[in-house]
Amino acid sequence: MSDFSSLSRRRFLTTASVSAAGAILLKGCAGNPPGATNTTDTTASPATSASPVSAQSTPETTSAKLGFIPIFEAAPLIIAQEKGFFAKHGMTQVEVSKQANWGAARDNVEIGSAGGGVDGGQWQMPMPYQISEGLITKGNVKIPMYVLAMLNTQGNGIAIAKSQEGKNIGLDMSKAKDYIVGLKQEGKPFKAAYTFPKANQDLWIRYWLAAGGIDPDTDVELLTVPAAQTVANMKTGTMEAFSTGDPWPARIVGEGIGFMAALTSQMWAYHPEEYFAMRSDWVDKNPKATKALLKGIMEAQQWCDVEANRPEMATILGGAKYYNVPVDVLTPMLKGTYPMGDNQPEIKDFQKAAMFWKSPRGSISFPYKSLDLWFLTESVRWGFLPPNTLDNNAKALIDKVNRSDIWKEAAKELGIPDADIPSSDSRGLEKLFDGKEFNPENPKAYLDSLAIKRI
Ligand code: CA
């Protein structure tokens, strides 16, 4: 059962339509993200009164412009702003700026805040690598970026249209393989959407299909659909599936539009999700301000993981300048309650919710280089990066982009206990839901173990 009342459903539809319209308007406003209503927070007050900013750690600048997409991944940035954790560390003029979509975020980091864009913010992986290498930028210009922290784990899922109920579409897609392949043979392929290609959401949907023996490149049709249009397009049958971040999947079930096939927390417990990354030139120019931002994010992540704080978190995130979604829509998911639909049992487990600071697998916030390597390995798997990426330069590339050293310095200055500061850049062996193992010491063995791939 969902917690939706008809009133909250109506409010949600109304507010979501307003944000969709806003997103379209903003999209037309090239390189110029949302204005005052979505950006500068003037009301936040520091969570604690004592300032920890010493003369030595005084940041070079008090301002930074950070982009976000209104999904749970952005919570550490929004909470750091609203609970005063950025200000506490001397970053009193941070703008947390809503981005119309991932393409707009990419465009805005290309121009930087000096050009009316952003200095960094929230990213799917491996976008900071693709931007650094000029793979997705205009004219293939390389814009070096640094990955500084992981923002969250879990809190994502794969939603399926109501027309597909009763077809055994769930976590284990081998049970639906004949049906899906049959659709293709009948000339009406199963269509699955993501909001930006070659990054998390595309990779999750590919992994999920391929684990069930379904080739995402030949047995189905994959397409990009702007986030603001996903729900409408699922209703009208443009696609049968889409991969996205909370809170959007809950709307699918809550409004009877469809059901959830899988949560990413079921596919890979405590998997890597989205990251905090900034332009390298900004970080190199402002090393103390970078650490001040990281300290604010770390404190926000710890705050977010206190279950008792989640009702307040829902109130802040649901606000008009952030998600613009009723609190009663956000609260169940933040507590780990997911109605799945299609006669599947509801999931009620706080450990399956989006998490931000630490997990039984170690630090969530620390940007383990071994997890970046998984994203690069999957990119090689699907032909998004050349195979020699792993032979020649994966380590050099990761060492250049991933600045776990800055995370550690900031954590030490913040007084994080040694036990919560990883000593290794590797999180070790990773196990996924279909029994596959990713050993970061041997990504080629992982690729060899996968039946469906483009290499
Ligand atoms: Ca995501």
Residue 308 in tokens? 């008792």
Percentage of the chain lying above the pLDDT 70 cut: 88
For residue 156, the CA-to-ligand 1 centroid distance in Å is 6
For residue 126, the CA-to-ligand 1 centroid distance in Å is 12
Give the pLDDT confidence score for residue 392 in this predicted structure: 66
For residue 56, the CA-to-ligand 1 centroid distance in Å is 36
The reply to whether 45 falls in a domain is no
For residue 202, the CA-to-ligand 1 centroid distance in Å is 10
For residue 121, the CA-to-ligand 1 centroid distance in Å is 14
pLDDT-derived band at 52 (thresholds 50, 70, 90) equals: confident
For residue 264, the CA-to-ligand 1 centroid distance in Å is 9
Burial class for 442, CB neighbours closer than 10 Å (0-12, 13-18, 19+): exposed
pLDDT-derived band at 50 (thresholds 50, 70, 90) equals: low
The reply to whether 359 falls in a domain is no
The reply to whether 221 falls in a domain is yes
For residue 79, the CA-to-ligand 1 centroid distance in Å is 18
Give the pLDDT confidence score for residue 25 in this predicted structure: 31
The reply to whether 67 falls in a domain is no
For residue 197, the CA-to-ligand 1 centroid distance in Å is 12
The reply to whether 440 falls in a domain is no
For residue 201, the CA-to-ligand 1 centroid distance in Å is 6
Residue located via tokens 């959830």: 260
For residue 53, the CA-to-ligand 1 centroid distance in Å is 33
For residue 151, the CA-to-ligand 1 centroid distance in Å is 10
Q: What are 365-409's pLDDT values in tens digits?
A: 999 999 999 999 999 999 999 998 888 669 999 999 999 999 999
For residue 338, the domain's CATH number is 3.40.190.10
The reply to whether 20 falls in a domain is no
For residue 89, the CA-to-ligand 1 centroid distance in Å is 28
For residue 272, the CA-to-ligand 1 centroid distance in Å is 10
Give the pLDDT confidence score for residue 230 in this predicted structure: 84
Contact 200, 274 (CB under 8 A): yes
pLDDT-derived band at 250 (thresholds 50, 70, 90) equals: confident
End-to-end CA distance of the chain: 44
pLDDT-derived band at 35 (thresholds 50, 70, 90) equals: very low
For residue 123, the CA-to-ligand 1 centroid distance in Å is 9
- What rounded mean pLDDT belongs to the chain? 89
pTM: 0.88
For residue 60, the CA-to-ligand 1 centroid distance in Å is 32
For residue 154, the CA-to-ligand 1 centroid distance in Å is 8
For residue 57, the CA-to-ligand 1 centroid distance in Å is 33
Give the pLDDT confidence score for residue 10 in this predicted structure: 40
SS3 label, residue 297 = helix
Of 65-79, 239-253, 306-320, 371-385, the least confident: 239-253
User: DSSP assignment of 407-453, as one string?
Assistant: HHHHHHHHT--GGGS-SSS----EE-TTS-EE-TT-HHHHHHH-SS-
For residue 50, the CA-to-ligand 1 centroid distance in Å is 35
For residue 244, the CA-to-ligand 1 centroid distance in Å is 6
Neighbour order of strands in the sheet with 63-68? 93-98, 63-68, 120-123, 275-279, 145-150
Q: Among candidates 243, 131, 453, which has minimal Cα distance to 443? A: 453
Q: If you ran DSSP here, which 8-state letter would residue 74 be given? A: G
For residue 349, the CA-to-ligand 1 centroid distance in Å is 19
Question: What domain range is 190 assigned to?
Answer: 156-268+326-352
For residue 275, the CA-to-ligand 1 centroid distance in Å is 10
The reply to whether 373 falls in a domain is no
Query: Given phi > 0 = left and psi -120 to 50 = alpha, else beta, which region is 237?
Result: left
Q: What are 163-179's pLDDT values in tens digits?
A: 999 999 999 999 999 99
The reply to whether 249 falls in a domain is yes
Instruction: Quote the number of domains for the chain.
Output: 1
For residue 73, the CA-to-ligand 1 centroid distance in Å is 6
The residues facing 359 across adjacent strands are: 362
For residue 187, the CA-to-ligand 1 centroid distance in Å is 31
pLDDT for 149 beyond 90? yes
For residue 115, the CA-to-ligand 1 centroid distance in Å is 27
For residue 204, the CA-to-ligand 1 centroid distance in Å is 9
For residue 59, the CA-to-ligand 1 centroid distance in Å is 30
Burial class for 135, CB neighbours closer than 10 Å (0-12, 13-18, 19+): middle
Q: What are 123-138's pLDDT values in tens digits?
A: 999 999 999 999 999 9
Burial class for 166, CB neighbours closer than 10 Å (0-12, 13-18, 19+): exposed
Residue located via tokens 């930006």: 196
For residue 8, the CA-to-ligand 1 centroid distance in Å is 25
For residue 402, the CA-to-ligand 1 centroid distance in Å is 19
For residue 208, the CA-to-ligand 1 centroid distance in Å is 15
